[in-house]
Chains A and B, each alone.
Chain A
Amino acid sequence: MPGIEWQFTLVLLTNGVMIGLMYALIALGFVLIYKATDAINFAQGEFVMFAGFIAAGASDLAGAPFWVAALLSVAGMVVLGFGLERVVLRPLIGRPVIAVVMATIGLAAVLRGGATLAFGGGTRAIVMPVGDDPIELGPVMLPPVQLIGAMVSIAFLAAFSWFFLKSRIGIAMRAVADSQQVAMAMGIDVRRYFALAWAMAGVVSALGGIVWGTMLGVDNQLALVGLKVFPVVILGGLDSILGAVVGGLIVGVVENLAAGYLDPYLGGGTKDFAPYFLMIAALMLRPEGIFGRRRIERV
Chain B
Amino acid sequence: MGAQPEVQLAVSSVSKHFGGVRAVEGIGLSVRCGELISIIGPNGAGKTSFLNMISGFYRPDTGSIMFEGRDITGERPSRIAALGIARTFQNIALFSGMTVLDNIMLGRHVRMKAGVLSSFIYWGLAQKEEVTNRARVEELVEFLELEDLRKQPTSGLAYGLRKRVELARALALDPKLLLLDEPMGGMNQEEKEDMARFILDVNQQWGTTIILIEHDMAVVMDISDRVAVLDRGRKIADGSPGEVQGNADVIRAYLGTAKDRQEVAAA
A interface, CB within 8 angstroms of B: 167-169, 171-172, 174-175, 178-179, 181-190, 192-193, 196, 293
Whether A185 and B95, one on each chain, are in contact in the complex, defined by CB atoms closer than 8 angstroms, is no
CB within 8 Å of A: which B73-132 residues: 76-79, 81-82, 86-87, 89, 93, 95-98, 102, 105-107, 109-110, 112, 116, 119, 126, 130
Whether B116 and A179, one on each chain, are in contact in the complex, defined by CB atoms closer than 8 angstroms, is no
Give chain B's interface residue range (CB within 8 Å of chain A): 20 to 34
Closest-CB distance, A16 to chain B (whole angstroms): 31
Most buried by B among A181, A186, A188, A189: A186
Query: Can you give 20 contacting A-B residue pairs, CB < 8 Å?
Result: A168-B109, A168-B119, A168-B126, A168-B130, A171-B102, A174-B97, A178-B97, A181-B57, A182-B89, A182-B93, A182-B95, A184-B77, A184-B78, A185-B55, A186-B106, A186-B109, A187-B110, A188-B106, A188-B110, A193-B116
Whether B105 and A171, one on each chain, are in contact in the complex, defined by CB atoms closer than 8 angstroms, is yes
How many contacts between A and B, using CB within 8 angstroms? Answer: 72
- Bound Cα distance from A167 to B110, whole angstroms: 15
The interface residues of chain B lying within 8 Å CB-to-CB of A179 are 93, 95
Interface of A is mostly: helix
Question: Which residue of A175, A184, A193, A293 contacts B95 across the interface (Cβ within 8 Å)?
Answer: A175
Whether B119 and A169, one on each chain, are in contact in the complex, defined by CB atoms closer than 8 angstroms, is yes
Whether A185 and B109, one on each chain, are in contact in the complex, defined by CB atoms closer than 8 angstroms, is no
Closest-CB distance, B94 to chain A (whole angstroms): 8
- Bound Cα distance from A233 to B13, whole angstroms: 51
Query: For residue B166, which residue of chain A has the nearest CB?
Result: A182
Closest-CB distance, B57 to chain A (whole angstroms): 7
- Bound Cα distance from A232 to B130, whole angstroms: 36
Whether A185 and B77, one on each chain, are in contact in the complex, defined by CB atoms closer than 8 angstroms, is yes
**Which 6 A/B pairs are nearest by Cβ-Cβ distance?**
A187-B110, A187-B81, A184-B77, A182-B93, A187-B82, A178-B95
Whether A184 and B105, one on each chain, are in contact in the complex, defined by CB atoms closer than 8 angstroms, is no
- Bound Cα distance from A234 to B126, whole angstroms: 36
Whether B81 and A175, one on each chain, are in contact in the complex, defined by CB atoms closer than 8 angstroms, is no
- With contacts A174-B97, A181-B57 taken as known, whether A190 is within 8 angstroms of B106 at the C-beta atoms is no
The interface residues of chain A lying within 8 Å CB-to-CB of B234 are none
Closest-CB distance, B76 to chain A (whole angstroms): 7
B37 within 8 A of A: no
Closest-CB distance, B172 to chain A (whole angstroms): 9
Query: For residue A190, which residue of chain B has the nearest CB?
Result: B78
Whether A184 and B96, one on each chain, are in contact in the complex, defined by CB atoms closer than 8 angstroms, is no
- Bound Cα distance from A182 to B227, whole angstroms: 27
Most buried by B among A169, A179, A293: A169
B173 within 8 A of A: yes
Whether B78 and A187, one on each chain, are in contact in the complex, defined by CB atoms closer than 8 angstroms, is yes
